[in-house]
Structure 1
Amino acid sequence: MPYQLYKGMVNNILHELLLPFIVSFSGALLGTYVVRQAAVKLKWISVPREERWNTRYVALMGGIAVFVSFVITALVFQPLEYQAVGLGAVMMFSAGFWDDRMEMKPIAKFLIQFLAASILIGMGYTLSSSWPFWLAIPLTYLWVIGVTNAFNLLDNMDGLAAGIAVIAALVFGGLAFKLSMPSVAVIAFTLAGASAGFLVFNYNPAKIFMGDCGSLFIGYMLAALPLMLEPALTEINPASILPVLIAVTILPIFDTTLVTFVRIFKGRSPSQGGSDHSSHRLVFSGLSEKTAVNTLYMIAAFFGGIVLLFYPSYTPLFYILLTLGLVGLAFFGAYLSRLDVYEEQKLSTLESMVDSIPDYVKRKVQLGTIFVDITLIIVSFTLAHFIRFEMWSFEVEEAVIQVLPGIIVLKILLLAGFGLYKSVWQYAGMADLMRLFLATFWGSLLAGGYAWGYMGGYMSVSVFAIDWFLFMFMLASSRFAFKGLRRLFALPTNGGKNVLLYGAGDAGWLALSEIRQNPDLHLDPVGFIDDSPYKQKGKVQGLRVLGSYHRLKAICEEHDVDEVLICIRDLSEDKKEMVKYMCTKSEVTCKEFLPVFSEVESEDEKSSKERSYSFEYQESA
């Protein structure tokens, strides 16, 4: 590449992307500091309420700094060619400001959102100009109003909404740059910079909240940006615009969908406030607020990353990874929905209906699982071809379409034949994993034979080897998803007594599993001690072996241990006495974990023993 051309490209990137980001970031950073000082003096303060997550008095109206910084930066760098978008942004900010100060009625807020969306549509900004107007216009209304409100609902924990706004705006900006739409890229990076400047003050522990004036404005801009990209996206493929939009704004969509469905299922109003969003559920499962927010950041970054990396250059690979991500997100949402965050004893009408279905009927109905398996079969087989040939051509697509229906039937029948639709995967073990291994191996082997015979010789045998590894991994991930998530989120502490486990063997592993999966014990494991030199500094289920028996007293002091739990079945009595003595010296409780099998006695046996005890007591008396 000639030096002058390279220099020109660098200058373009600097001017079109980095400079607007830096200016808006600096403006929002300074503006947020000023607004926070003013909010304290004017008593614009968020007061803790029962239905809200926040329990502190925090300054409000940080959205003013985001909006002002965005507008000034956009005026400096951006020609006035998107007046309709700017007018809608002003309307959203004004409605949010009014709602923050005087609590606007929901119907009035909706009408303003409807009007802002109408202005966009009237200026020609719709989801796809190639779709019939009777489809494109209603979907555009749904998109703009839906994303605006979804982002507003996402503003429920320190740093969450602002961080997701930075990620989504950067993705839209990068996509605009790839599609040679520099004006849209400037607007997107300006929004990202303004949100990032505010995030410095809003990240946990937050010193200021953005309020509705910020969340409605940012949500509206995130909905409007892809409409500005619509001409380029439609030119590539009119059908691909929705998957791209869903991928970039996946977090607000996911959170709103989860909250809405669970509230309806629980017999609650979808519009009422509450601490039942995805971020709250992650904290309820045991994560800290920072870790919960960072987890959601990573999910948004994954979906945004596949857009930037693979769209539109590798569109088939983008669809494959998007499908995998959505399947994983569905399992993640199903896990979060099972967490009981409402603490209600009474079942709703829908819950009662589901609860009344007999268990044998529930076990027989495997339609959801079969649908997921069919999706994974398609994804793994398609991805295997992409990996093998490092491209996607008409010949490859034609071959895949011809043999895929037969392969789906073969593999589903094999999975059923190996009993994979009968196992209770929440408690699956090595035997289930082995059956899964054999089912996927024979499935790919027979699929290869079928494809070879059907097409008179297939393109590549190695495709089926790759397909086997991919399908086995995906199927195992789907089957062990709930068990894995349960173990993963059981790692954090639950605020109970600090317990040190003596013995990093089978009994110690069993004790740790019980402690983590039974919050009613109110125990927080801090680590293991074990006398084996091979286990020193190792880990069991992520928990460190802190040392040997000889360091018991020092470890108890270092980690503020309240209780030592002996988890060695054949520990000598002398060793037990020494452990108890050292615990007494350290003022630490000592207990023993004994997994035992007790024989269940009949009523006749119990009454017989009672008569015997009564007779012996009388004799001794």
Structure 2
Amino acid sequence: MNALLGAAVAALVAAGLVPAVRRLAVRVGAVDLPGGRKIHAQPTPRWGGLAVVAGFGVGLAAWALLGGPPAWDRLLVPLVGGAAVFAAGLRDDVRPLAPGPKFAAQTLAALWALAFGWGFQQISLFGTTWTLPPALAALLTVLWIVGVTNAFNLVDGLDGLAAGVGLISAIGMAAVFALLGDTDNAAVLLVFAGALLGFLPFNFHPAKIFLGDSGSLVVGYVLAVSALGGSRRGASALAVGVPLLAFGVPILDTLLAMGRRFLGAWAESGGPGRPLVDRLRAARRMFEADRDHVHHRLLAQGLTHRGAVLTLYAVATTGVVLALLSVLARYRNVGLVLVALGVSVYVGLRQLGYRNPLELRAAQLLAWYEQRGLPRRFFWSVVDVALASAAYWGAFLIKFEGGVWRPEWSVYARGFPAVLALQVGVFALFGLQRTVWRATNVGDALRWALATLVAASVGAAAAMALEDRAGQATFFLLDGLLLLVLGLGVRSAYRVLAYLAQADDPRARPVLLYGAGHGGRLVLRELRQNPAWRMRAVGFVDDDPRLWGSEVNGLKVLGPSSRVAEFMARTGATAVVVTTDKIPVARVEGLRARLPEVAIGWLRLRWEPLVLEPAPRSEAARADR
């Protein structure tokens, strides 16, 4: 009840201060002018964060006076850390601040929370809990706080979006903490939700005032540290599943934006022959603004300004509901919920016009894969060291159910260098570093499998000789399996990316391939791998009824040539490509006669007979006889 009164006070204070804050913002020049990539048409004051922060502070004070928190650090962490990012945001709203100082303020605020013990301690997922080493826990804590803080800043692109999503997330996380019995964190989040609720009517479209960086950064920071605060009382699963669901909209939008900008700049910075350092400068583009966020995509789909915002409210609410359900299920299903949500996100992004999530064009990744910044043998040697290390310690985590700091750890750590050296040496003996893996085939895969078997066996023998671990066959079996899967995955990556890049250009002309035999497969492969043809196969046509309805190299055999007109209307094809000489010319001409308006042509690969003549003998050879 006291927390609800504090939330009411926060809402009243925030709403009451908005008119005064608007006048103050206009006086100091904290006004967002229309133009460029901006959507609004009228100059709008920015300093809405000042009203939210004031309401939050007064609401917390009211809650404390009414019998508030037993531990004052529950207030000190969000207030003092929030003040740091708030100050940076205020300055940025008046005059743009360089990314460096903004990130410095956010990092200091994250370290402040870390100093009070607010951070990752354990990670629970799929029913397993991992205790993190202190250094890794600190790093993840800083990355989490800075990342979520910026996520809410980036999502603040439509009237009421960041404030509304923040309100939904705050209420959802407050409910989570209430279910877990952490009433202090629940109360802090309720008061913060009250401040956002009081501000939101002035920020909803058409906005009278913007949240600004002074507000969006504070929203992200308070929510990020509040989620971490629960881990101090045993709510370790909050470190992974629940906040990811509750903060899903801004986190997803941030990942999409940063990935899209970086890969776009990487592709534009030059071909694979450019120096690696020049290509890495593309990372700067991740922080440049654009008009390709999720909310922009919704507007492009024809939604109104309010419609786009309400749609994202609904998505955020869905994430919060899933988070609550995962808590009620005691986190057992939170991992499965994340997987299911990931599939749903993929489908949704396709509907929004993202050809691939993050628009990770396979062609761009192929150029990245082909980068020649290091000699091939040295590069693959480094990769093999990383793979062998990952397999070894991955097997350890699986065997001991995620326990990192266990008594057995020191035993496995002592044997690790010898196992690593022997396994990488086996790979070198098999010549794996010399192989051109872009041309990998079944034989190369079998050679990797054999090398993995030998490497795992040699590593097991060495480890057992160094330590009395004769009963740890399960560990070395896991090590070998992980090494096999990781190695095949990495070394087949080029072929996988090449396959994904085959149909990467939707602007290519859609065509039907006439003939699904060997010639058809060769033509299909040529069209997919050679973009110069500017053709995209959308189906096979073949007169063999045994092939109808089947798939050849992932392309469906639609039916006989007598139904070409029907198939073209169904698939949108604009031409027919004949792929083999085995199709009688008369049948092709009959097809032309029936469909005079359709372009029909031949594209076939021929094998010319080759007669090898004996090589002429040299004069020296004749003289020897």
CA distance in structure 1 between the partners assigned to 2:462 and 2:83 by the alignment: 61
Verify the 8 A CA contact 2:362 2:504 in the aligned structure 1.
no
| Structure 1 residues 189-221: Cα deviation after superposition (integer angstroms, max 9, x where no partner) | 9999999xxxxxxxxxxxxx9975775344323
| Structure 1 residues 560-611: Cα deviation after superposition (integer angstroms, max 9, x where no partner) | 21122223453333333344444x34x22123332357999xxxxxxxxxxx
For the residue of structure 1 that corresponds to 2:577, the secondary structure is strand
For the residue of structure 2 that corresponds to 1:270, the secondary structure is helix
After the TM superposition, which residues 104-503 of structure 1 pair with which residues of structure 2 at under 5 Å, given as runs? 104-107=95-98, 110=101, 114=105, 121=112, 125=116, 148-149=149-150, 152=153, 181-184=182-185, 212=213, 215-225=216-226, 228-229=229-230, 231-232=232-233, 259=262, 265-266=278-279, 270=284, 274=288, 339=364, 361-383=375-397, 385-386=399-400, 394=406, 397=409, 400-455=412-467, 458-488=470-500, 490-491=502-503, 493-503=505-515
Verify the 8 A CA contact 1:530 1:549 in the aligned structure 2.
yes
Partner of 2:564: 552
1:593 aligns with 2:607: no
For the residue of structure 2 that corresponds to 1:494, the secondary structure is coil
After the TM superposition, which residues 62-77 of structure 1 pair with which residues of structure 2 at under 5 Å, given as runs? none
Q: Structure 1 pair 394/439, CA: closer, same or farther in 2 (3 Å)?
A: same
1:279 Cα deviation after fit: 8.2
Verify the 8 A CA contact 2:426 2:451 in the aligned structure 1.
yes
CA distance in structure 2 between the partners assigned to 1:167 and 1:540 by the alignment: 49
* Farther off after superposition, 521-530 or 182-191: 182-191
For the residue of structure 1 that corresponds to 2:389, the secondary structure is helix
Please tell me the residue identity of whatever aligns with 2:605.
P
After the TM superposition, which residues 80-119 of structure 1 pair with which residues of structure 2 at under 5 Å, given as runs? 81=69, 82-84=74-76, 85=78, 104-107=95-98, 110=101, 114=105
| Structure 1 residues 532-564: Cα deviation after superposition (integer angstroms, max 9, x where no partner) | 445433344544333333322211122221122
Partner of 1:566: 578
Please tell me the residue identity of whatever aligns with 1:555.
F
CA distance in structure 2 between the partners assigned to 1:532 and 1:189 by the alignment: 69
For the residue of structure 2 that corresponds to 1:459, the secondary structure is coil
For the residue of structure 1 that corresponds to 2:364, the secondary structure is coil
Verify the 8 A CA contact 1:48 1:57 in the aligned structure 2.
no
Name stretches of at least 5 consecutive residues in structure 1 with no aligned partner.
1-15, 25-42, 196-208, 284-289, 322-331, 343-350, 601-621
Partner of 1:617: none
Q: Structure 1 pair 369/123, CA: closer, same or farther in 2 (3 Å)?
A: closer
For the residue of structure 2 that corresponds to 1:366, the secondary structure is helix
1:497 Cα deviation after fit: 1.7
Q: Structure 1 pair 489/92, CA: closer, same or farther in 2 (3 Å)?
A: farther
Name stretches of at least 5 consecutive residues in structure 2 with no aligned partner.
12-30, 122-135, 197-209, 270-276, 298-307, 340-356, 611-625
Verify the 8 A CA contact 1:565 1:592 in the aligned structure 2.
yes
Q: Structure 1 pair 421/116, CA: closer, same or farther in 2 (3 Å)?
A: closer
CA distance in structure 2 between the partners assigned to 1:574 and 1:411 by the alignment: 62
1:241 Cα deviation after fit: 8.7
CA distance in structure 1 between the partners assigned to 2:470 and 2:573 by the alignment: 63
Verify the 8 A CA contact 2:153 2:220 in the aligned structure 1.
yes
CA distance in structure 1 between the partners assigned to 2:450 and 2:466 by the alignment: 24
For the residue of structure 2 that corresponds to 1:339, the secondary structure is helix
CA distance in structure 2 between the partners assigned to 1:147 and 1:516 by the alignment: 40
Please tell me the residue identity of whatever aligns with 2:604.
L
Q: Structure 1 pair 214/408, CA: closer, same or farther in 2 (3 Å)?
A: same
Verify the 8 A CA contact 2:361 2:501 in the aligned structure 1.
no
Q: Structure 1 pair 228/543, CA: closer, same or farther in 2 (3 Å)?
A: same
1:178 Cα deviation after fit: 9.4
**Identical counterparts, % of pairs:** 22
Please tell me the residue identity of whatever aligns with 1:527.
G
Verify the 8 A CA contact 1:117 1:141 in the aligned structure 2.
no
Q: Structure 1 pair 461/153, CA: closer, same or farther in 2 (3 Å)?
A: same
Verify the 8 A CA contact 1:527 1:545 in the aligned structure 2.
yes
Please tell me the residue identity of whatever aligns with 1:219.
G
Please tell me the residue identity of whatever aligns with 1:148.
T
Q: Structure 1 pair 276/593, CA: closer, same or farther in 2 (3 Å)?
A: farther
For the residue of structure 2 that corresponds to 1:413, the secondary structure is helix
Verify the 8 A CA contact 1:530 1:536 in the aligned structure 2.
yes
What's the TM-score, normalizing by structure 2? 0.55
CA distance in structure 1 between the partners assigned to 2:393 and 2:168 by the alignment: 27
Please tell me the residue identity of whatever aligns with 2:95.
M
Please tell me the residue identity of whatever aligns with 1:370.
D
| Structure 1 residues 277-310: Cα deviation after superposition (integer angstroms, max 9, x where no partner) | 9989xx9xxxxxx9xxx9xx9xxx9xx99xx99x
Verify the 8 A CA contact 2:539 2:555 in the aligned structure 1.
yes
Q: Which residue of 530, 533, 537 maps to 2:542? A: 530
1:385 Cα deviation after fit: 2.4
Please tell me the residue identity of whatever aligns with 2:97.
P
CA distance in structure 1 between the partners assigned to 2:570 and 2:176 by the alignment: 51
Partner of 2:207: none
CA distance in structure 1 between the partners assigned to 2:195 and 2:609 by the alignment: 67
Verify the 8 A CA contact 1:373 1:412 in the aligned structure 2.
no
1:482 Cα deviation after fit: 3.6
| Structure 1 residues 10-49: Cα deviation after superposition (integer angstroms, max 9, x where no partner) | xxxxxx9xxx9xxx9xxxxxxxxxxxxxxxxxx9897554
Verify the 8 A CA contact 1:170 1:189 in the aligned structure 2.
yes
CA distance in structure 2 between the partners assigned to 1:506 and 1:381 by the alignment: 44
- Give the alignment's Cα RMSD to 1 decimal: 6.6
1:512 Cα deviation after fit: 3.5
1:475 Cα deviation after fit: 1.5
What's the TM-score, normalizing by structure 1? 0.55
1:432 Cα deviation after fit: 1.6
Q: Structure 1 pair 111/428, CA: closer, same or farther in 2 (3 Å)?
A: closer
Please tell me the residue identity of whatever aligns with 1:216.
L
Q: Structure 1 pair 397/45, CA: closer, same or farther in 2 (3 Å)?
A: same
Verify the 8 A CA contact 2:548 2:558 in the aligned structure 1.
yes
Q: Structure 1 pair 231/454, CA: closer, same or farther in 2 (3 Å)?
A: same
